[in-house]
Amino acid sequence: MAPWFSASAVAPALTAAWRLRPGGAAWLTISVQLGFVAGALVSAALTLSDRWSARRLAAAASLGAAVATLAVAFSRGPAVGIAARVATGAALAGVYPPGMKIAAGWFRDGRGWAIGMLVGALTVGSAAPHLMRWLVPAEAWRLVLVAAAVSALLGAALMLRVPSDGPYAA
């Protein structure tokens, strides 16, 4: 989930690089939310987590989020950058809900604990870009976005290493 707040973490740098007007930086976050809602609605309407392996769906979505985050990092302007943020949100809609299904599929007892741990891990992942931003110089802001993309790629690889959606998967 690191791509979620990656652009927000470097918003001052993106605002300067893209010459955004006052308030324009808000679109760095709003666009992800809009993409997530659209992606979640499409995923639910098409019942993607029921048709496909949740872990493969999450892996593909993580890959999509990584590519979209890299597009933001190397975009020359707000049109492509904001569109890439919408794509990031849509992709992350394929990570969060299937992640819940995977967590529930591995636990018959203790599902609440498993889902709580997952939400905690997702929250840490969402906060990671702000930590990355704190660790790198301001002029290296693209590194924050690249690191967020790499973390999404690692998440995709991890999902593919899990042998199944779990013994209690619905």
Calculate mean pLDDT across residues 67-74: 98
Mean pLDDT computed over 5-30: 91
CB 37 within 8 A of CB 56: no
* Domain presence at residue 169: no
Is residue 170 included in any domain, yes or no? Answer: no
Q: What is the pLDDT of residue 12?
A: 92
* pLDDT, tens only, 76-134: 999 999 999 999 999 999 998 898 888 888 898 998 999 999 899 888 988 899 889 99
Query: Residue 137 falls within a domain, yes or no?
Result: yes
Domain for residue 32, yes or no?
Answer: yes
Show the tokens assigned to 122: 């997702």
- Top-confidence residue, 23 or 59: 59
Helix residue ranges per DSSP H, the chain? 6-9, 11-17, 26-45, 48-51, 54-74, 78-92, 96-105, 111-135, 141-161
| Phi, psi dihedrals of residue 148, rounded to the nearest 5° | -65, -40
Q: Provide the domain limits for residue 127.
A: 6-161
Assigned domain for 124 exists: yes
Number of domains in the chain: 1
pTM comes to: 0.91
Rounded Cα gap, residues 92 and 39, in angstroms: 8
Quick one: DSSP state of residue 20?
P
Quote the pLDDT of residue 23: 84
Say how many C-beta atoms besides its own lie within 10 A of residue 131's C-beta.
Answer: 13
Q: Is residue 151 part of a domain?
A: yes
Q: How does residue 155 score in pLDDT terms, banded at 50, 70 and 90?
A: very high
CATH of the domain at 37: 1.20.1250.20
**68: confidence class by pLDDT, cuts 50, 70, 90:** very high
Residue 146 domain-assigned (yes or no)? yes
Q: How much is the average pLDDT of 146-169?
A: 91
The answer to whether residue 167 sits within a structural domain is no
pLDDT at residue 166 above 90? no
- Mean pLDDT estimate for the chain: 93
